[in-house]
Amino acid sequence: MQEVEQKIQRKIIGVVVKKFHEIFRMNVNKREQTREEKTRIAIDKNSCCPSEQVTSCCCSPQEDVKSSLNSEVSTIIQDIPTDKLKVDIYVPLEACSCVWSQFMNLVFSALTPYIKHIQHETKSLSSEEARKLNLRGNSIVVDGEKIYSSPYDFKQDLPVLLNGKGLL
């Protein structure tokens, strides 16, 4: 497991160094351009910023590099092999928490004793994923396959699911 972590760290560092060099090259190129060229390049057809603010604006080239870096790092993180049970909890996040808080309390009371073996995520019941799974109410989805609508049933089956995956 330590080798996998080191390999992932090296990948992330490589991506960060690569992006750092891209930013550095962009800054060197900017210094070499004349003021007129800078103004012409800075006003992009999709830009929301005046040319003077490009270095600090949301539309700046640095922001593009940052978002690109974030997406590459998140892709690397998603590729990490996990030895954990994946649990997705679907609740109507746009509704008042009083609608789903009791459900969440019951789910987390089931998860807590085994939390080091579980990767959990709370998702909206109105999301595209929930529609694909045909979820109609508060639900728990284990490894994208097994669906529970009752936290009590989930709590009962959780040790069996963990044993089946060899985590206990």
Structural domains in the chain, CATH included, are 2-78 (no CATH), 85-164 (3.40.30.10)
Cα gap 103→123, rounded to integer Å? 13
Given 3-state DSSP classes, what are the helix, strand and coil percentages for the chain, each rounded to the nearest 5?
A: 60, 10, 30
Query: From residue 34, how far is each of 38, 55, 98, 111 by CA, in Å?
Result: 6, 16, 60, 60
Least confident of 49-53, 124-128, 136-140: 49-53
Please state, in angstroms and rounded to a whole number, the distance separating the CA atoms of residues 37 and 155. Answer: 64
Q: Tell me the pLDDT band of 140, cut-offs 50, 70 and 90.
A: very high
Q: What is the pTM of this model?
A: 0.53
Range with the poorest average pLDDT among 53-67, 98-112, 130-144: 53-67
Nearest to 47 by CA among 56, 38, 60, 37: 60
CA angle at residue 62 from 57 to 65, to 5 degrees? 135
